[in-house]
Amino acid sequence: MLLWHHKQVEIRFGKPDSYDYDTILDQFSGTKINTIRTSSVPLVQFWKDTDLRLKELFSMIPLSSGKPVLCFEYPTKQGGKGKSSMTDLMILCDESKIAIEAKFTEYAKMTQDTIGQWGNDKNIENRKKVLDYWTDLIRPFSNGYDNESLQQISYQFYHRTASACKDSEKAIVIYQIFYDNETFEYLESYKNLLRDYVKILSPNYKRSFYIWEIEVIQKITDNIIINPFYKMKNQNIYEFKKTSLNKI
């Protein structure tokens, strides 16, 4: 009798091979967004020219890329009950991971939910278990930080960082911040907030953080009838202007 051991079986969802970019756009076409100014729209278009973007990235980051694998909506299972943490784009490179978090109008409109606020909400026991799991992933990549300071960090920033650290020898987190005339006034304050978070986490040589600023110009009028990902197959939604990638 042949006995299966569950750890020997790979379980995958959807097509196991690499997608072409049109299929990626089809996948995103099924996601719910309320406006083309949602950050996933410029993110997906920006990475459509994949070879160029990887060349830009690895020319500025001292990392051996090998044969990178790009995974949109990359899941990282959390320690307690609840949904996996979904990274906008995870780039897998040999023994390293690059987590890319896209922001556009979100940083101009929304306040940051801190760990202190999140941890004191309902389901405290489960949330403590989840937070302890993220902390166990992050601490080997840190010079040390105290629990009081940790309460000030955005919870999303924390679990995005943990996702890059999981099963990785070297972790990189990039905040890809898109801006235009409407959001530019909020850009510097948001960058300062990210710098404060990084300072609290005190990364060691195994982990680094970057901000990738990208100026955009909207090419089409926002229309809830238009699916921007489907339209992106034949027409650009945004034009990309100035770009700047800097380590925090």
pLDDT in tens, 162-204: 999 999 999 999 999 999 999 999 999 999 999 999 999 999 9
pLDDT at 13 over 70: no
Separation in Å, CA 67 to CA 93, 94, 143:
6, 7, 30
The percent of residues in the chain predicted with pLDDT above 90, rounded, is 64
> What tokens were used for 62?
């001292």
CA distance 42 to 35: 12
Question: Which backbone phi and psi does 166 adopt, to 5 degrees?
Answer: -65, 130
Distance between CA atoms of residues 85 and 129, nearest Å: 15
How far is residue 133's CA from residue 90's CA, in Å, rounded to a whole number? 20
Lowest mean pLDDT, pick from 23-32, 150-159, 179-188: 23-32
Please report the pLDDT score of residue 9 as a whole number: 54
pLDDT of res. 77:
87
Report pLDDT for 12.
59
Per-residue pLDDT at 36: 93
pLDDT-wise least confident of 37-41, 111-115, 135-139, 211-215 = 111-115
Measured distance CA(11)–CA(13) in Å, rounded: 7
Strands, DSSP E only, in 29-167?
Answer: 69-76, 85-93, 96-103
Q: How far is residue 161's CA from residue 101's CA, in Å, rounded to a whole number?
A: 10
> What mean pLDDT is predicted for residues 48-64?
88
Quote the radius of gyration of the chain (alpha carbons, Å).
Answer: 19
Cα separation, 55 vs 232, in Å, equals: 22
With cut-offs at 50, 70 and 90, classify the pLDDT of residue 17.
Answer: confident
- Token output for 80: 């307690």
pLDDT band of residue 99 (cuts 50, 70, 90) is very high
Q: What average pLDDT does this structure show over 224-235? A: 89
Range among 19-23, 98-102, 118-122, 128-132 rated most confident:
98-102
Instruction: Return d(Cα 137, Cα 168) in angstroms, integer.
Output: 10
Check whether 7 has a pLDDT greater than 70. Answer: no
| Residue reference for tokens 């490179």 | 93
Decide: 219 and 239 in contact? Cβ < 8 Å. yes
